Structure 1
Amino acid sequence: RDIAPSDVLAAREAGATGVVLEAGATNSHALILARSLGLPAVIAVAGLLSSVTDGDLIEVDGNSGEITIGETVPASAPVAAGRATPSATRSSAPPVTRTTDGRVVRLYANVGQTADVGVALAAGAEGVGVVRTEFLFLDEPPSEQDQYEVYREMADRLAGKPLVIRTLDAGGDKPLPYLPVAPEANPYLGLRGLRLSLAHTEVFRTQLRAILRAAVHGRIMLMYPMVTNAEEIALANEQLLAARTELAASGEEAGDVAVGAMIEVPAAALRAEALARHAAFLSVGTNDLAQYTLAADRNNAAVSYLYSQTHPAVLRLIQATVTGAHRRGRPVAICGEVAGDVDALPLLIGLDVDELSVAPHSLERVRAAIASLSYPECVARTEAHLRDV
């Protein structure tokens, strides 16, 4: 009926080329991961499990949301192992994305696997806006060396382009066995993201040491998820300093990293200027920001009619984030799913967002959409959209 992020990765490794669910939610982490991997997905298919059997061939159209259940695949028939790849495997993609009147919007990629970096570069990404490190290490606690090797490989592939590594964003619907959490009545309001890392400082510092070591070899920035206040950033930075000290004591070289914060909590958006005093950049995670603003569980289909990442109240919080950050000279990115929604792009550009980070397979479509827009038009559309609030 539904799946977890780990199921998506296991299915892809087994050769799956699409996802169909009887339940599911568009903004669940499992579906976000499927999109980032280029796997077409259709959800909320009533009666699916009673209509198919093992071996049935299902044609999946992720654009229209339609599936066709066909004849059974013979046991000896080959299974298509490929998935959609950007047509821009050529190197002709423009290095900078601009509106028709020349306004620059930096375009980056969200990645959850090392292979995603190559797909992103082929599609003309200017760098990686989010590495979802929890998807890299779902089962066992990774060693410092394991993490260092993955981060360095990504940095090497990017060859000087930005690489934003988000520290483990576990909890909620992304439990990690090596970051245990006691049963909670409401996990989405409990130990998640940075809160959980600060409760497991040994695991946190192991990751920070790996990031610092990899930063010697590339333009690496780190980002804390689920930040609520400046005090959390200060506590996390204490762990970062401790990690740097530990590396120095062991004779390991550590690189310089800029530190950023994700804005997913309404309180953080309203206090963006205060956070920007402690962070070099802010990145808005609209998936959770919408959930917390609208009191609508992103994974609950029964309240999906309330969930909208372009709700005027959500956009007001993005606007507050941009205003506060820009007062401190800090750039603001959008790394939630709304950044890949071409219908929402005029609103984000109209809010003066500096950067967008999207699934690698969405880069070409988003770039083309931005190139068809003018900044004054975007501002006008945004102002009209916000008049109701």
Structure 2
Amino acid sequence: MTFHHHMPSRREALLGAGALFAWSQMPRLARAEGRDPRLLVIVLRGALDGLGAVAPVGDPDWKSLRGDRALLLDGKTPALPLDGFFALNPAMPNLHRLYKAQQACIVHATATPYRERSHFDGQDVLESGISRPGAVDSGWLNRALVALASDGQIDLRGSRALGVGAVTPLIVRGRAPVMSWSPQKSLPASDDTRARLLDLYQHTDPRLAAALDAQIRLAALGPTAAIDDPMADDAALPLPGIARLRAYVAEAAATAARFLARADGPRVGAAGFVGWDTHINEGAASGQLANLLGVLDGALAAVETNMGEAWRETVVAVITEFGRTAHINGTDGTDHGTGTVAFLAGGALRGGRMIADWPGLKPAQLYEERDLKPTTDLRAVLKGLLRDHLRVEERTLATAVFPDSADVVPTAGLVG
């Protein structure tokens, strides 16, 4: 591979792009209730292995499904117990602490309405809020703000919005104003081209795609990685690279939180992190997935710390385009799947709860006999947060924010 010198570093790649909104007035209903709610949405681009992140240790078929990669309560690196049936990846001690403090919820076996396996279409459905890809060029979070403005709840005139990154994510594009700010290091233009090439190969030549993906991943970790070895074990990567990555992403999250915490600052924001496409050497308690979850865990802690007093009025929602296969593939990774997890954290939550209608892991219980079957529509969760946290009207949620979702009942009781 000749392009690795032009790769973004892993820390640049993970920072992807984000946007923060500010408005000159808080939602009128929330203000009347004496609240000043904040919402930060983090999009994990590349598809998260929900089973590797939150293990169904109480499912009798779990251990045989993943073998020595199955996270267990009594494993070599023990999983962190949640509710007796589920356990958290040990790379996420901060999320576990928040869960025990009733400041985090985890939604399992969830997905958008999208049922194919293209990253680009999956992310489009996730961020647009429309059930088919390519339908609109606005995002559900932007339309929620427009709805609040048209209801007279907020005043968008003279409001400020901040977009972090070279590309504003679709989730926040639309009529509500967005300004952009790029960090000193941003993704090169060729990154999108390379990702599209990879997506194409995954449909036509999976082996080539796997090798290309590994090269990109290793190159992204900088000169310390063994660029010439596409099968190098991520678990063996030098720690300084992971430490730098963790510090960089935590600082980005901290910066977003400091904006959200300001009296005159934004109240709603979104950030995207790429790098979650774990086709090779995913690992569980160690390896690629553990490294990525550890970085995310550090980002959540940074948001909590830097929100200060405002943390008690904050919800952070971590979502992804789809899950990954139930079985480990031939390169010790997982391929594109369906059902996954969503993480919710924040002082405004009624936390300490798993939200799951568990489908089971027997072959006949899997989606197309290969993926975790989604039993919770992610839009229900997002609608519940927007309705009860920001006070977007339920009718508006079903028509303007998530069109064609009238039959998707908002999840009740997530906040307060």
Q: TM-score, normalised by structure 2?
A: 0.29
Q: Which has the higher helix share?
A: 1
Q: TM-score, normalised by structure 1?
A: 0.30
